[in-house]
Structure 1
């Protein structure tokens, strides 16, 4: 099998390992859920302390407690995007090297009315 490029493969072009991806996603999830817990604690402190502008702070804490877990789950299940330079080498784009394209239709069609014999 012939290589498509003459460039050597460099180890820095390797993808991040699955265990490293999982560890970073777990870390991001724990941080986001800690923010949710912080919103819960801040909301409880604000209610017991009868803070000024309570009508503003409680909805913000509630939004944090509702929206952050949803985002944490979505981001924890998402993998990192593929790098663009990795996609180029895998025939995702067509390179025009000047050779004529191969077509499925023959260059010269049979004349009209011609019968093509097929052995059964």
Structure 2
């Protein structure tokens, strides 16, 4: 019985590996598009039954596949739960640091108080 290798890291794939896999997917999809073009030409010369259906299918592949290939090639893998949590923590730290840099006198706090609003309305009149 084979033992499963032990995972020693939760590191994501390197950007180079991700880019290479996206390149392979793009080339594969564009090859299928080229096959649709060739198949359409062969179908026109062979005149099989249901020619219109097959030509529409090939045309749909030639139109849809480039759009999908570009979307897939430009998409990065989804962030894991740990990456999202780390990103949120970093954003909170940046926000805390920005607040710490401002002197307390410059920070205007909103106080919700009935008397405060009544005084403000009288001042505006």
Shorter-chain TM-score: what band?
0.5 to 0.7
Highest relative contact order (Cα 8 Å, sep 6+), 1 or 2? 1
Structure 2 residue corresponding to 1:14, chosen from 2, 11, 14: 11
Size of the aligned set, in residue pairs, is: 92
The answer for the alignment partner of 1:81 in structure 2 is 78
Structure 1 residue corresponding to 2:50, chosen from 49, 53, 63: 53
The structure where helix makes up a greater share of residues is 2
Corresponding residue SS for 1:12: coil
What's the Cα RMSD here?
A: 3.0
Shift of 1:91: 4.0
Within a 5 Å distance, the mapping from 1:27-106 to structure 2 comes to 27-91=24-88
**Structure 1 length-normalised TM:** 0.65
Gap regions ≥5 residues in structure 2: 1-6, 90-106, 110-115, 120-125
